[in-house]
């Protein structure tokens, strides 16, 4: 009788459960009403505990990143736009990825304007495609596909007028809820909280993935001063103890003097870099390429691709100039181990077609071409229509190909060692030349057959460069000596160094089976 009772009791204590961690079915000996505590084995229990700790740690990191975000320079830029628009709805449609792109665009615009420049007169603005404030109550989205870096003066002339209906991104008035409205008096934290509520998990994911959200200069100095005050590590104590909020509300100049005083300094020393703003065509080349790949409008993508082709050719032409302007455009014509002026400028004097034009007229015509194409770059990025035929004809009328083959210089010993082999060195030559050839081909200044000839001509040019350097090397004074009345021109001579030996490709391409040294110079 006792045995049957125990059997019934044991049978009645078996319950069917699903593991909260691995979701497998198992039988439990005691009743567990809380589903979050049902585990089939200790390993699942420990795994769930570790996951909970990771989630808590991630949440703590997100909260810390959120505080840094609304105190950062990029955050202030976003908040100012939201206040100006009167709503955080300008961020509708953002994902974590696009938030990173927006931050990257914001940082790039600062780099384009250089350092040490007058911030009140920045060369470049972050320009809207769809107007920041539309006339129909809509707002232009603060989104990478609705923003581009462009000339500040041209941007101001555009104002809020409608340029395109299919390019960019705008938020219609019907989608702007009253709960997303912000006022001019809302603090950065209050605006940030509304953004967080609007974007939800995408914003949380953005904060959790951000490696470094840097606070702005005011909050950074305030934190530094406050930490010294609390830890007692200042060389000189301030006249009074400040709360963190008081420090964050102080002007930047005052904080700089407080920081210097705490460090025992008599004056504030500021480092000012003299880096100038980037060349406008270089900025537009990057922006045209970005918009050609991301714009929602096929028409705008086509215009951006077309203007990008013109910009690359014009950039090559400017890079040839031996002045500061040419130096600023060197990214269009990477020379490396070559000398190259592929384009020539042609100017027809209509008043005196038989005479040679003055340099003043040539310079004026060149500046007109640069200014005109630069203005149309802005129009293409803004979503306006572009007179492609006219612009292409205007460029082809003035520029012509002078040579497709650069003059190759033999590499220095240290440079050859950096490449490691002749194959790598020749790959570098082609890597520099191919973008230039492709730009000229795209615009119609040369043909594919001519480029194929130029690829072979590049190797001939390399051979000529090696011949010149070998001649200079073997005629050095160190190899010439008079000994016992006899003159030697190869005294101590062993052989050419590795960086002056002929690469095997020259023998294989030009004279298979023959000695490379017997190669004649190309005409």
Q: Domain locations in the chain?
A: 11-58, 71-209, 217-262, 280-469, 470-518
Distance CA 116, CA 276 (A): 8
Q: What φ, ψ does residue 170 adopt, rounded to 5°?
A: -125, 155
DSSP state of 483: E
Assess contact for 223 and 259: CB atoms under 8 A.
Answer: no
pLDDT in tens, 139-172: 999 999 999 999 988 888 887 777 888 899 999 9
pLDDT in tens, 6-37: 554 445 567 778 887 787 787 777 777 667 77
Helices (DSSP H) in 232-275: which residue ranges?
244-248, 252-262
Residue 424 has pLDDT above 70, yes or no: yes
DSSP state of 489: S
pLDDT score recorded for residue 142:
94
Extract the tokens encoding 166. 């299919």
Distance CA 379, CA 155 (A): 10
Residue 261 has pLDDT above 50, yes or no: yes
pLDDT in tens, 432-489: 999 999 999 999 999 999 999 999 999 999 989 999 998 898 888 888 888 888 888 8
Q: Answer with the residue of higher pLDDT: 370 or 267.
A: 370
Helix (H, G, I), strand (E, B), or coil: what is residue 147?
strand
pLDDT score recorded for residue 395:
93
Distance CA 315, CA 278 (A): 13
Assess contact for 158 and 130: CB atoms under 8 A.
Answer: no
- Work out whether the CA dihedral 6, 8, 11, 12 comes out positive or negative: negative
Of the candidates 440, 411, 285, 406, the residue with the CA atom closest to the CA atom of residue 335: 406
Angle 243-245-251 (CA atoms, 0-180°, nearest 5)?
105
Residue 363 has pLDDT above 70, yes or no: yes
Residue 214 exposure: Cα atoms within 13 Å on the Cβ side: 6
Quick count: other Cβ atoms within 10 Å of Cβ 443? Answer: 18
Residue 56 has pLDDT above 80, yes or no: no
Quick count: other Cβ atoms within 10 Å of Cβ 121? Answer: 9
Distance CA 258, CA 252 (A): 10
Residue 115 has pLDDT above 80, yes or no: no
The pLDDT-based confidence of 52 (bands split at 50, 70, 90) is low
Percent of the chain whose predicted confidence (pLDDT) is above 90:
38
Residue 409 has pLDDT above 70, yes or no: yes
Which residue is associated with the tokens 């200042």? 234
Residue 234 has pLDDT above 70, yes or no: yes
Assess contact for 401 and 340: CB atoms under 8 A.
Answer: no
Extract the tokens encoding 472. 């200079």
Distance CA 139, CA 424 (A): 52
Distance CA 489, CA 185 (A): 86
User: Could you tell me which residues come within 8 angstroms of residue 281 by beta carbon, excluding any fewer than 6 positions away?
Assistant: 311, 314, 315, 318, 329, 332, 370, 374, 377
Distance CA 101, CA 145 (A): 10
Extract the tokens encoding 411. 């590499």
The pLDDT-based confidence of 271 (bands split at 50, 70, 90) is low
Distance CA 56, CA 266 (A): 46
User: Could you tell me which residues come within 8 angstroms of residue 99 by beta carbon, excluding any fewer than 6 positions away?
Assistant: 199, 202, 203, 206
pLDDT score recorded for residue 295:
92
Distance CA 440, CA 248 (A): 55
Residue 167 exposure: Cα atoms within 13 Å on the Cβ side: 27
Residue 281 has pLDDT above 70, yes or no: yes
pLDDT score recorded for residue 452:
94
What does each C-alpha distance from 482 to 465, 472, 477, 488 come to in angstroms? 30, 20, 11, 6
Distance CA 417, CA 428 (A): 13
DSSP strands (E only) in 101-146: 124-128, 139-140
């Amino acid at each position: 009788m006792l045995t049957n009772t125990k059997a019934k009791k044991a049978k009645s204590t078996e319950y069917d459960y699903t593991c909260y961690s691995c979701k497998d079915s198992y039988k439990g000996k005691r009743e567990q009403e809380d589903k979050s505590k049902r585990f089939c084995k200790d390993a699942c229990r420990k795994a769930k505990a570790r996951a909970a700790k990771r989630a808590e740690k991630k949440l703590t990191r997100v909260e810390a990143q959120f505080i840094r975000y609304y105190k950062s320079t990029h955050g202030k830029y976003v908040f100012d736009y939201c206040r100006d628009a009167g709503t955080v709805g300008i961020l509708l449609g953002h994902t974590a990825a696009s938030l990173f792109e927006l931050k990257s665009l914001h940082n790039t615009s600062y780099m384009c304007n250089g350092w040490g420049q007058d911030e009140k007169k920045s060369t470049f603005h972050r320009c809207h495609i769809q107007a920041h404030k539309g006339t129909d109550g809509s707002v232009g989205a603060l989104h990478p596909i609705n923003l581009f870096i462009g000339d500040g003066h041209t941007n101001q002339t555009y104002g809020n007028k409608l340029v395109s209906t299919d390019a960019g991104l705008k938020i219609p008035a019907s989608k702007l809820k009253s709960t997303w409205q912000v006022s001019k008096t809302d603090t950065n934290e209050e605006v940030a909280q509304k953004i967080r509520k609007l974007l939800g998990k995408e914003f949380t994911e953005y904060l959790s993935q951000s490696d470094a959200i840097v606070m702005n200069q005011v909050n950074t100095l305030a934190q530094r001063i406050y930490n010294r005050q609390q830890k007692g590590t200042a060389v000189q104590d301030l006249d009074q103890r400040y709360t963190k909020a008081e420090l964050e509300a102080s002007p930047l100049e005052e904080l700089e003097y407080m920081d210097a005083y705490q460090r025992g300094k008599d004056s504030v020393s500021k480092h000012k870099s003299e880096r100038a703003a980037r060349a406008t065509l270089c900025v537009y080349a990057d922006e045209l390429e970005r918009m050609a790949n991301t714009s929602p409008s096929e028409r705008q993508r086509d215009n951006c691709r077309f203007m990008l082709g013109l910009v690359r050719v014009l950039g090559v032409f400017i890079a040839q100039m031996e002045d500061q302007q040419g130096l600023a455009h060197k990214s269009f014509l990477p020379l490396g181990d070559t000398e190259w002026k592929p384009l020539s400028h042609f100017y027809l004097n209509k008043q005196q077609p038989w005479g040679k034009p003055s340099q003043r007229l040539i310079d004026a015509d060149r500046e007109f071409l640069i200014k005109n194409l630069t203005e149309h770059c802005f129009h293409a990025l803004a979503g306006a229509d572009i007179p492609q035929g006219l612009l292409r004809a205007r460029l082809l009328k003035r520029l012509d190909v002078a040579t497709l083959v650069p003059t190759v210089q033999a590499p220095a010993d240290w440079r050859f060692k950096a490449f490691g082999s002749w194959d790598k060195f020749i790959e570098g030559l082609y890597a520099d030349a191919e973008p230039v050839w492709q730009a000229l081909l795209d615009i119609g200044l040369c043909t594919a057959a001519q480029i194929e000839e130029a690829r072979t001509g590049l190797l001939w040019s390399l051979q000529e460069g090696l011949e010149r350097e070998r001649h200079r090397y073997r005629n050095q004074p160190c190899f010439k000596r008079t000994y016992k009345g006899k003159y030697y021109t190869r005294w101590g001579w062993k052989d050419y160094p590795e960086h002056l030996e002929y690469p095997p490709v020259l023998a294989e391409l030009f004279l298979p089976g023959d000695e490379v040294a017997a190669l004649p110079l190309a005409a």
